[in-house]
Amino acid sequence: MVQQTDVLIIGGGVIGCAVARELSRYDVSITVLDRAWDVAEGASKANSGIVHAGYDAVPGTLKAKYNVEGAQMLPALCEELGVPYRQCGALVVGFSEEDRGTLETLLARGEANGVPALRIIGKEELLSLEPHLNPQACCALLVPTSGIVSPYELTFAFADDAALNGVRFRFGAEVKSVERLSDGSFEAKTEHDTWRCRILVNCAGASSADLHNQLSPEKKKIIHRRGQYYLLDRPVSAPFERTIFQCPSAMGKGVLVSPTVHGNVLLGPSAEDIDDPLDTETTQSGLDSVMDRVRLTWPDVSLRTNITNFSGVRAHEEGGDFIIGPVAGSPGAYEATGIESPGLSSAPAIGRALAEMISHEQELVRKERIRPYEKPPIPFREMTPAQQQEALEANPLYGSIICRCEVITEAEIVAAIHRPVPATHIDAVKRRTRAGMGRCQGGFCSPRVASILSRETGIPLTEVTKNGGNSYLLTGTLTENAERSDRT
Amino acid sequence: MNREHVDILIIGAGPAGLASAIAAREDGIESLLVLERESQPGGILRQCIHNGFGLHRFSEELTGPEYAQRDIDRARELKIPIECDTTVLSVSPDRVVTCISRENGLRQIEAGAVILAMGCRERPRGALCTPGTRCAGIYSAGTAQRFVNLEGFMPGQRVVILGSGDIGLIMARRMTLQGAKVLACVEIMPYSSGLNRNIVQCLQDYDIPLYLSHTVTDIKGRERLESVTVSRVDERRRPIPGTEMEFECDTLLLSVGLIPENELSEGAGVSISPATSGAVVSDSFETSVPGIFACGNVLHVHDLVDHVSSESFRAGHAAAAFVRSEKRESVFLFVQDGEGVRGTVPQKIQLPPAQDVTLMFRPSGVFRNASAVISCGGKELFRRKAMIFTPGEMASYTLKADSFAGLDGSEPLTVRIEKGAE
């Protein structure tokens, strides 16, 4: 079917959603396409969740510019959107004199980029700040303004705000080809539809270079660099207060040990170049490489409380920097290509910059009225007893605990299913509410969440999926199965 | 928030909670309350529709729901209040229990004694760090059992089972009977952790191969599971390259161990034993926090519900005695695991014991023609020979109260397995 929209944003990751949210303030029709069945299904859901302070990027690069701007925007933005964020600080730890030299370079870069309050500390101060750190560490760059954020919840907030202001989201819509037509408009083909638009925004992450190359004579190449992680259960007391980096290498910022905004401990990522960006499996060798490096930071690490492993794929452009702006040779097309770390930290700034550029060049008119954002409900477990009482009186579904490990109520799950960008499968509910994120990994709650999804969306239980597409949970009813095996 | 008061509050209406409530009521405790998070009492037995329950206690083979119903009926007879759909959010060290339900909202209940009977949960995939994709079709065996037996749905058609715990074995048979093809049961250890009768009745009777010293080393499938790789492991449980077998399947069931669910206990400050992952208790099932008792699978994972019930009756009686302030001398005899033994419960015995003491433990390996020996200092208190000890079958021995005569607690009691001549 031929579909029309003024602005077509390809990719519903944190960048695509940030752009969508900013553009939703203008009087244009906007559609976001994503190959998956939810936003944030690519690298946006599977990364370290660090808000980098901006000491790492080389001054003068787009990475440095947008990182610093984005990191400055995030605290207020997260507050406004109800996204978990914490400025926990970071340490880049050195284990040798050579490392100290690297730290000096980072310090100089950070200062050139305008990162405040950086300083290099010695062993004694370091170990008093983080007593679980390997005592062989000899120095560190202390980064007080480094933070942590929930990357997928940031994406959901951008997407919800955009949807509330008229942006359409279409899932299961992988763009197979894009073309600039002779009249200057664009055509993007998915399996089922042909999308026509005046303005095209390429935020396709891992696939962004493919789209770029279809539109531009200046070719780009993305290297898919997978990072694997361990996620540990919420400890009674956090082993590390701050994000602990090791001195960076050519392959990335190295392996980190970090608290998450939800109180878990994150270990990773590995760095390995792969061919297919959808290969987000974990491997024994990748996981082992993470643990080898983690032990250097945290000699007493134990995997006894490991909850899950996952991997994400960084979109590393060969040139090494972000590519942001108009697509060369295709007026009307814009892009954010090669967005790897610090892409999450940069996302709000990239979204704002692209929207400003597009609205200015395409002469978009600002809407008179913007619908104010409605934050998702405060998680029940984070409410005060008085708030809990009040919530219960307003909605008895708060009295029904669905996920025991994370104490998630039916009210929160129902709310997630009815957000502006609704949760339509188990993983979508999980990321929006944390039901199934705990130590039993959905063993108890997933059948209940499936029932609630079925009830609230009116689909049979056999059509409920883990994360859309063909990821069905159940293969049929017992009766159907008995009939099938009678026939064979 | 109003504060209510009860003499004994029991968390969980599974077999442990029900038995302890019945015992306390039979001892004359009037003010008693059982809280249950599910919508019906019975605990995990509700979904265990196979038979084999109750052989010890009732000398009959009952299904899980039938076994549970006997205790539910008895509790009704005794007018024991059971509040369902109620989740306990916290227990304080001074026994204030905060709970929540749709019907009654948020409540705080002060209890003279608390009995922890929350049961256990299954170890998930993350605990194994199994690499591969994170597709649909990977379930813990108990989750699959719930889908099949309580909800009437099939989780899959071609099944591999990782781990040979009892629920996994039971589900191998259940899925087969329901028309699915169970391709293999894969166990990383050189022996099964399930009951021997389940190996015979659930695998062998259906020609389902059991691969001992094997594990799943890769999981493939982007949306739904497509295949798993199974590899042989060496004696240190590391996969041996070159031994990989690929099984095309849409379902992987995990039966890789149970973990007592002690988050509430830990919140109350109860000491947890690393060997059992349950509370450290005395022979009266009192935890390290006075007035808080624990029994059933939250204390240590049992093989047989009959043993859960008998343990929980004793815990219920002990909690009743606590509420009636029947103080006893507090000289403790500490119990330690000796060679071949893991997780002996109780971890301490009050001297002199008021009644006979049952010691339960898991053998740490397979031992043939060996003896369980219980001794203190140089004195042997108990010795029992057995054809075989295996980790899959909990050992349980009852010592007469008078066998502790003369012990003063200055030396610990040691439980060990003495290897016999081959």
Say if residue A140 is in the same domain as residue A228. yes
B142 touching A (Cβ < 8 Å): yes
Cβ atoms A199, A8 nearer than 8 A: yes
Mean pLDDT over the full length of chain B: 95
Structural element, H or E, at residue A401: strand A401-403
Q: What is the dihedral of CA A308, A309, A315, A318, to 10 degrees?
A: 150
Q: Residue A156 and residue A14: Cα distance in Å, rounded? A: 8
CATH code of B329-422, in short, is 2.60.40
The CATH superfamily assigned to B1-122+258-327 is FAD/NAD(P)-binding domain (3.50.50.60)
Which residues of chain B have a CB within 8 Å of the CB of A286? 131
CATH for the B124-256 domain, from 3.60.21.10, 3.50.50.60, 3.40.1080.10, 1.10.8.80: 3.50.50.60
Q: Within a domain: residue A55?
A: no
Q: What is the dihedral of CA A197, A203, A207, A212, to 10 degrees?
A: 60
- For A381, the closest chain B residue by CA position comes to B89
Say if residue A402 is in the same domain as residue A415. yes
List the CATH number of the domain containing A212: 3.50.50.60
Q: A334-359 in b/e burial notation, b at 16+ Cβ within 10 A?
A: bbbbbbbbbbbbbbbbbbbbbbeebb
CA distance B105 to chain A (A): 6
The stretch B294-298 carries a mean pLDDT of: 98
Say if residue A112 is in the same domain as residue A236. yes
List the CATH number of the domain containing A285: 3.30.9.10
Q: Residue B258 and residue B301: Cα distance in Å, rounded? A: 7
**Token duo for residue A391:** 């919530």
Give the residue numbers of A marked as catalytic: 52
| pLDDT values of chain A reduced to their tens digit, one per residue, 488 residues | 999 999 999 999 999 999 999 999 999 999 999 999 999 999 999 999 999 999 999 999 999 999 999 999 999 999 999 999 999 999 999 998 889 999 999 999 999 999 999 999 999 999 999 999 999 999 999 999 999 999 999 999 999 999 999 999 999 999 999 999 999 999 999 999 999 999 999 999 999 999 999 999 999 999 999 999 999 999 878 999 999 999 886 555 679 999 999 999 999 999 999 999 999 999 999 999 999 999 999 999 999 899 999 999 999 999 999 999 999 999 999 999 999 999 999 999 999 999 999 999 999 999 999 999 999 999 999 999 999 999 999 999 999 999 999 999 999 999 999 999 999 999 999 999 999 999 899 999 999 999 999 999 999 999 999 999 999 999 999 988 766 665 54
Residues 90-149 on A with a CB inside 8 Å of B are: none
For chain B, the domains span 1-122+258-327, 124-256, 329-422
Per residue, what are the HEC states of chain B?
A: CCEEEEEEEEECCCHHHHHHHHHHHHCCCCCEEEECCCCCCCHHHHHCCCEEECHHHHCCCEEHHHHHHHHHHHHHHCCCCEECCEEEEEECCCCEEEEEECCCEEEEEEEEEEEECCCEEECCHHHHCCCECCCECEEEHHHHHHHHHHHCEECCCEEEEECCCHHHHHHHHHHHHCCCEEEEEEECCCCCCCCHHHHHHHHHHHCCCEEECEEEEEEECCCECCEEEEEEECCCCCECCCCCEEEECCEEEECCCEEECCHHHHHCCCCECCCCCCECCECCCECCCCCEEECHHHCCCCCCHHHHHHHHHHHHHHHHHHHCCCCCCCEEEEEEECCCEEEEECCEEEECCCCCEEEEEEECCCEEEEEEEEEECCEEEEEEEEEEECCCCCEEEEECHHHHCCCCCCCCEEEEEECCCC
Which residues of chain A have a CB within 8 Å of the CB of B155? 473-475
Residue B4 C-beta-side C-alpha neighbours within 13 Å:
15
ω into B81 cis (within 30 of 0): no
Say if residue A158 is in the same domain as residue A236. no
In this predicted structure, what is the pLDDT of residue A251? 55
Say if residue A189 is in the same domain as residue A279. no
Per the listing, tokens 């305008």 go with: A114
Say if residue A157 is in the same domain as residue A29. yes
Q: CA geometry: angle at A330 spanning A326 and A331, to 5°?
A: 65
Q: Residue B10 and residue B292: Cα distance in Å, rounded? A: 10
Chain B interface test: which of A311, A444, A445 (most B C-beta within 10 Å): A444
Say if residue A387 is in the same domain as residue A474. yes
Say if residue A247 is in the same domain as residue A393. no
Check: pTM over 0.90? Answer yes or no. yes
Cβ atoms A37, A174 nearer than 8 A: no
- For B259, the closest chain A residue by CA position comes to A440
User: Residue B241's CB: how many other CB atoms inside 10 A?
Assistant: 9
In this predicted structure, what is the pLDDT of residue A17? 98
Q: CA geometry: angle at B202 spanning A448 and B159, to 5°?
A: 55
Using 50, 70 and 90 to split pLDDT, how confident is the model at B325? Answer: confident
Say if residue A100 is in the same domain as residue A208. no
Expressed as residue numbers, the domain containing A39 is 2-44+152-221+320-361
**Token duo for residue A473:** 């949970």
B157 touching A (Cβ < 8 Å): yes
Q: Within a domain: residue A486?
A: no
Which residues of chain B have a CB within 8 Å of the CB of A312? none
Q: Within a domain: residue A369?
A: no
